[in-house]
Chain A
Amino acid sequence: MTAPLLALQGVSKHYAAKPSLLGRLLPNQPVVRAVQQVTLDIAPGEILGLVGESGSGKSTLGRVALHLEPPTEGQVLFQGRPPAEDLAGFRRRAQMVFQDPQSSLNRSLTIERILDSPLSVHRYGPAAARRARIVELLELVGLRADMMRRYPHELSGGQRQRVGIARALAIEPAFLVLDEPTSALDVSIQAQVVNLLVELQQRLSLTYLFISHDLRLVRWLCDRIAVMYLGRIVEVGPAAQLWEAPAHPYTRALLAAVTAETLAPPEAAGEVPSPIRPPPGCAFHPRCPAAGPRCAAEAPRALAQPLGAMVACHLHDGGVG
């Protein structure tokens, strides 16, 4: 087993919930447990998919992985070292692609200025070298060089996301966190961008953490998939295995909802509870068709499985009774 490029070790991220006026006067302010004790390795050259619904904490985990937010507990290691040891070096090696290029690209700058910004910040070289790099980057993501004179609003959604990808790649990183990079795009344009991501990953030997709510897309693109629910990873597995034989009831419910061809009632009843007051025991138990008394009382352990898989469910650990 090769050493992981990025390792998350027992990472948690808690926020103070926006307190009410009365709440501010009282002790024990409510806490949002956005990420709870996540341990996850990403191998060099791997595409790891992180799947979850709203409130699962997947975006927060992506930000913690990039050290955009320090973890409340646990640690992040990049090539075995904490990012804070050499933050400038880490920022050169690890970059982010955002969901909505409409809001993540500065609308008052030309594409050239947008792409020049990371090059200037990381002292890529003199103006001529930076300009040559910008032309190279545009070509890399399938845009014509004359696009550099345009403004973001003059581009289509797909073109803007290509610029977002070019910006992330400007300083030749090894690792990208992609947070729902295609969910603002139509499916026909999504296919173009996803094909580009595969091509870039192979050509530049990149490693991706690909965050998405779309299990079908993640299954297509990723080598391994981690499923998140209310701040915790409930299952990890090779993409094909997780798709064919999901081990966690939540993964099964998600898969059933994604592949449904009829109006069958869903396997998971009700809605995702608030991460301020997650249910005790297994956070999924109130919606779980297989839950037993133990699920409400005891949080399941993360059980290592063959092939780098993991499942956190009492069904696989002595039963739910």
Chain B
Amino acid sequence: MPEMLFEVRDLVTRFRTEAGEIHPSRHVSFHLAEGEVLGLVGESGSGKSVTARASVRLQQPEGATIGGALLFRGQDLRKLDAAALRALRARQIAMVVQDPAAALNPVMTIGRQLTRIHRLHGGTEAAAREAALGLLRRMRIAEPEARMAAYPHQLSGGMRQRVLIALALICRPALLIADEPTTALDVTVEAEILALLDELRRELGMAMLMISHNLSVIGRICDRVAVMYAGRIMEEGPTAALLAAPAHPYTRALLASVPRGSKADGPLPAIPGEPPDLARLPAGCPFQSRCPGAAPDCTQDQPLRPIAPGRRAACWRAAA
């Protein structure tokens, strides 16, 4: 059994909006073993990004996190002071976001951005340059010396995402938070970046929390997956088993709505209605108004409960 790296217990976040108070994460719990890849999948507004960012205290404002324990190798991130948190994040936790154009410094060359981080960690200029070049090569970036002198806007989207991943991995973190890292990319480029990310992750023994709305991406790269809806984890389990036999009605409906075959086979099984307004959630299961199997007892809270080894679901009737 690999050792526990990161455990989030009962995370609650809160924002005040014009429409009222909303809770993008409502008692969310998940864990990652060393070297493990967990996917956090959900549609827009499910709370997956806020949950991931808040889990490593990157969500602004920080006061949005109002409950929960964030245990990184047993140490609660919520109890660290700013300096200790910064030190831990600098060495152990890195993040890759969807839009590398926004995450890279537009007025600094790629080389400077890469060597700067290495230098911050106390390396010499020459060693930093060697390490940066090595990483660019590992990311299969052609002509790495020339790329070092380039500015982010001179690179394609796929190139920028490779640089961003190189930046994230330069300190060999134990945990990478990857928030829709390939969503802005074309599918033929996406496949290559995913394969690279997985290769480097294995090499570094790094754990990864992968946030995505794309079930195909999750299916390819994650060991386990947690499905979020309206701030809650609805279902969790090993990726292959969960995708092959989803237990929660929401997961089943989500998977069914992906186009397969052709329109000659009949209409796509769409999920009726819309996701609920987070400011006006019903009591109990947030999926009840769209669920084909909804019953009177769905207005009561349904905690995640074990349904099979390694699998949990938040539905009275869920069965694996």
The answer to whether B268 touches A220, judged by C-beta atoms less than 8 angstroms apart, is yes
Contacting residue for B220 out of A215, A239, A262, A269, CB 8 A: A262
Q: How far is the CA of A63 from the CA of B194 in the complex (A)?
A: 33
Contacting residue for B43 out of A188, A257, A272, CB 8 A: A188
Q: Is A258 an interface residue (CB 8 A)?
A: yes
User: Contacting chain B: which of A7-15, A123-131, A189-197, A308-316?
Assistant: A189-197
Q: Which positions 234-263 of chain A face chain B at CB distance < 8 Å? A: 239-240, 253-254, 256-258, 260-263
The answer to whether A271 touches B156, judged by C-beta atoms less than 8 angstroms apart, is yes
List chain A residues, Cβ under 8 A from B195.
Answer: 263-266
Q: How far is the CA of A267 from the CA of B262 in the complex (A)?
A: 25
**Nearest-Cβ distance from residue A200 to partner chain B, whole angstroms:** 13
The answer to whether B188 touches A53, judged by C-beta atoms less than 8 angstroms apart, is yes
List chain A residues, Cβ under 8 A from B190.
Answer: 257
Q: List 13 A-B contacts (CB under 8 A).
A: A186-B44, A187-B215, A188-B270, A189-B271, A191-B270, A219-B259, A219-B262, A253-B188, A257-B188, A260-B216, A261-B216, A264-B195, A287-B188
Q: How far is the CA of A267 from the CA of B191 in the complex (A)?
A: 9
Size bracket, chain B contacts: 35 or more
List chain B residues, Cβ under 8 A from A220.
Answer: 259-263, 268
Contacting residue for A190 out of B159, B220, B253, B257, CB 8 A: B257
The answer to whether A53 touches B186, judged by C-beta atoms less than 8 angstroms apart, is yes
**Nearest-Cβ distance from residue B151 to partner chain A, whole angstroms:** 15
**Nearest-Cβ distance from residue A179 to partner chain B, whole angstroms:** 17
What does the 1/0 interface line of B166-198 toward A look like (CB < 8 Å)?
000000000000000000001111111011001
Q: Is A107 an interface residue (CB 8 A)?
A: no
What does the 1/0 interface line of A146-171 toward B look like (CB < 8 Å)?
00000000001111000000000000
**Nearest-Cβ distance from residue A266 to partner chain B, whole angstroms:** 4
Q: Which of B43, B186, B257, B260 is packed against the most chain A CB atoms within 10 Å?
A: B186
Q: Which positions 253-288 of chain B face chain A at CB distance < 8 Å? A: 253-254, 257-263, 267-272, 274-275
The answer to whether A271 touches B158, judged by C-beta atoms less than 8 angstroms apart, is yes
Total number of A residues with any Cβ neighbor in B under 8 Å: 44
Q: Is A103 an interface residue (CB 8 A)?
A: no
**Nearest-Cβ distance from residue B288 to partner chain A, whole angstroms:** 15
List chain B residues, Cβ under 8 A from A265.
Answer: 191-192, 195
Q: How far is the CA of A261 from the CA of B44 in the complex (A)?
A: 24
Q: Is B221 an interface residue (CB 8 A)?
A: yes
The answer to whether B43 touches A260, judged by C-beta atoms less than 8 angstroms apart, is no
Contacts known (A188-B271, A191-B269, A263-B195); A221 close to B263, Cβ less than 8 A? yes
By a beta-carbon cutoff of 8 Å, the part of chain A in contact with chain B is 53-54, 156-159, 186-192, 194-195, 198, 213, 215-217, 219-221, 239-240, 253-254, 256-258, 260-272, 287
Contacting residue for B253 out of A156, A188, A256, CB 8 A: A188
List chain B residues, Cβ under 8 A from A198.
Answer: 263, 267
Q: How far is the CA of A198 from the CA of B268 in the complex (A)?
A: 10
The answer to whether A266 touches B253, judged by C-beta atoms less than 8 angstroms apart, is no
Apart from A190-B257, A265-B195, what are 14 other A-B pairs with CB-CB below 8 Å?
A187-B258, A191-B268, A192-B270, A220-B260, A221-B259, A261-B220, A262-B220, A263-B198, A264-B191, A265-B192, A266-B188, A266-B192, A267-B188, A272-B189
The answer to whether A239 touches B192, judged by C-beta atoms less than 8 angstroms apart, is no
The answer to whether A53 touches B274, judged by C-beta atoms less than 8 angstroms apart, is no
A255, closest chain B residue (CB): B187
The answer to whether B213 touches A260, judged by C-beta atoms less than 8 angstroms apart, is no
Q: How far is the CA of A267 from the CA of B188 in the complex (A)?
A: 8
Q: Is B219 an interface residue (CB 8 A)?
A: yes
List chain B residues, Cβ under 8 A from A158.
Answer: 274
List chain A residues, Cβ under 8 A from B258.
Answer: 187, 216
What does the 1/0 interface line of B225-265 toward A look like (CB < 8 Å)?
00000000000000000000000000001100111111100
Contacting residue for A240 out of B187, B262, B269, CB 8 A: B262
The answer to whether B219 touches A254, judged by C-beta atoms less than 8 angstroms apart, is no
List chain A residues, Cβ under 8 A from B274.
Answer: 156, 158-159, 189
**Nearest-Cβ distance from residue A217 to partner chain B, whole angstroms:** 5
Contacting residue for A257 out of B191, B219, B261, B275, CB 8 A: B191
**Nearest-Cβ distance from residue B172 to partner chain A, whole angstroms:** 21
Contacts known (A186-B43, A187-B43); A254 close to B259, Cβ less than 8 A? no
List chain B residues, Cβ under 8 A from A216.
Answer: 258-260
Contacting residue for A217 out of B187, B254, B259, CB 8 A: B259
**Nearest-Cβ distance from residue A141 to partner chain B, whole angstroms:** 14
Contacting residue for B254 out of A188, A267, A268, A270, CB 8 A: A188
List chain B residues, Cβ under 8 A from A215.
Answer: 187
List chain B residues, Cβ under 8 A from A187.
Answer: 43, 213, 215, 254, 257-258
List chain A residues, Cβ under 8 A from B253.
Answer: 188
Q: Which of B159, B257, B261 is packed against the most chain A CB atoms within 10 Å?
A: B257
